[in-house]
Amino acid sequence: MYKGSCLCGAIKFEVSGVLEATDACHCNQCRKWTGHFLASAEVLRDSLLIEGEANLSWYHSSEKVRRGFCSQCGSSLFFDPLDKEKHHWIGIALGSFDKPTGTNLGQHIYVAEKGDYYDINDDLPQNEH
């Protein structure tokens, strides 16, 4: 069981199961949304329990995705693909989890759009898009 929350604690969540697919997304939207890049874990939707949903706001950043954040403190929390038939997962910002997570980043995605102010210096796979 993993637990986490937004910065102010108005939204709390629990995830059962294992944190598997993790990545760092460097796309323009994730960088604008988080202020840097989004490190997240994909978890099965039915393994996620959210407390404080009244404080959860959603922004539809495209026709395919909405992004969940705390309406009180602004914490970036959830990356939710709208096609629930195709995507049985929801992304959760790794920084919102309480420690320990027992996981590591697995890859970098959308590196073609990364910020020009930093380098990626690890040996993880990098996908242009």
Q: How high is the pLDDT of residue 3?
A: 98
Q: How high is the pLDDT of residue 20?
A: 79
Q: What is this structure's pTM?
A: 0.96
Q: Quick one: how many helices (H) and strands (E) in the chain?
A: 1, 10
Instruction: Print pLDDT tens along the chain (129 aa).
Output: 999 999 999 999 999 988 877 999 999 999 999 999 999 999 999 999 999 999 999 999 999 999 999 999 999 999 999 999 999 999 999 999 999 999 999 999 999 999 999 999 999 999 999
Q: Return the beta strands (E) in 16-54 as ranges.
A: 22-25, 38-44, 48-51
